[in-house]
Amino acid sequence: MALLTYVAQRLLHAVVVLWAAYTLTMLALFVLPSDPVTTMLLGGANSDMTVDRVQLETLRHELGFDQPLGRQYLTLLGRAVRGDFGESVQTGQPVSALLWNGLVPTAELATAALLIAVIAGSAVALISTSTRIRPLGGLLQSATAVGVSIPSFWLGLTLIELLSFRWRLLPAVGGRGLSGLILPAITLGIPAGSVIAQVFGRSLRSVLAEPFIVTAEAKGAGRVRIQLRHALRNAALPPLTLAGMIVGSLLGGAVVVETVFARNGLGRIAVDAVTNQDLPVVEGLVLLSAAVYVTTSLLVDLAYPLLDPRIIGTRGMR
Partner 1 sequence: MPFRPIQRLTALTASLTLLTACTANHAPDAGSQQPRSGGTLRFGLDYAPTCLDPQLVTGATPNLGLLDTLTAQDPLSGKIVAWLASSWQIDGTATTFTFHLRDGVTFSDGTPLNAAIVKTNYDKIVALGAKAGYGSQLLAGYRDATTPDERTLVVRFARPNAQFLQATSDPALGVVAAATLAKTPDQRCQGAIVGSGPFVLRSYRPNQEVVVVGGREGYDWAPASATHHGQAYLDKIDVTFVPESGTRTGSLASGQVDVIGNVLPQDEPRFDGNGFHVLSRIEAGIVLGLIVNENRPLLQDQKVRTALLKGINRGQIVKTSLTSRYKPATSVLSSTTPYYTDLSAELAYDPDGASALLEQDGWKVGADGIREKDGRKLTIDVIFGAVRSLELVQQQLRDIGVDLKLRQLDLPSLGSALSSDGYDLFLRDANRADPDVLRTLFSSTRIGAQNIADPELQNALDAQAATADAAKRAALVAEAQRQLVQHGHYLPINEKPTVVAAAATVHGLAFTAGATLTFYDTWLS
> Which one, 251 or 260, has the nearer CB to partner 1?
260
> Which one, 201 or 267, has the nearer CB to partner 1?
267
Minimum distance, C-beta of residue 253 to partner 1, in the bound complex (Å) = 16
What is the contact surface with partner 1 in residues (CB under 8 A)?
Answer: 32-36, 38-53, 55-56, 58-59, 87, 90-94, 101-102, 105, 157, 160-161, 164-166, 168, 171-174, 258-265, 268-269, 272, 275-277
> Which one, 51 or 298, has the nearer CB to partner 1?
51
DSSP string, 193-233: HHHHHHHHHHHHHHHHTSHHHHHHHHTT--HHHIIIIIIHH
| Neighbour-count burial of 261, counting CB atoms closer than 10 A to its CB (0-12 exposed, 13-18 middle, 19+ buried) | buried
Minimum distance, C-beta of residue 162 to partner 1, in the bound complex (Å) = 11
CA dihedral 243, 246, 250, 252 (to 10 degrees): 130
Phi, psi of 87 (to 5 degrees): -125, 150
Distance CA 48, CA 57 (A): 19
> Which one, 55 or 142, has the nearer CB to partner 1?
55
Minimum distance, C-beta of residue 312 to partner 1, in the bound complex (Å) = 45
> Which one, 165 or 212, has the nearer CB to partner 1?
165
Minimum distance, C-beta of residue 54 to partner 1, in the bound complex (Å) = 9
| Neighbour-count burial of 278, counting CB atoms closer than 10 A to its CB (0-12 exposed, 13-18 middle, 19+ buried) | buried
Minimum distance, C-beta of residue 55 to partner 1, in the bound complex (Å) = 4
Distance CA 249, CA 243 (A): 10
At residue 129, what is the residue type? T
> Which one, 105 or 189, has the nearer CB to partner 1?
105
Minimum distance, C-beta of residue 288 to partner 1, in the bound complex (Å) = 17
Determine contact, residues 154/257, Cβ cutoff 8 Å: no
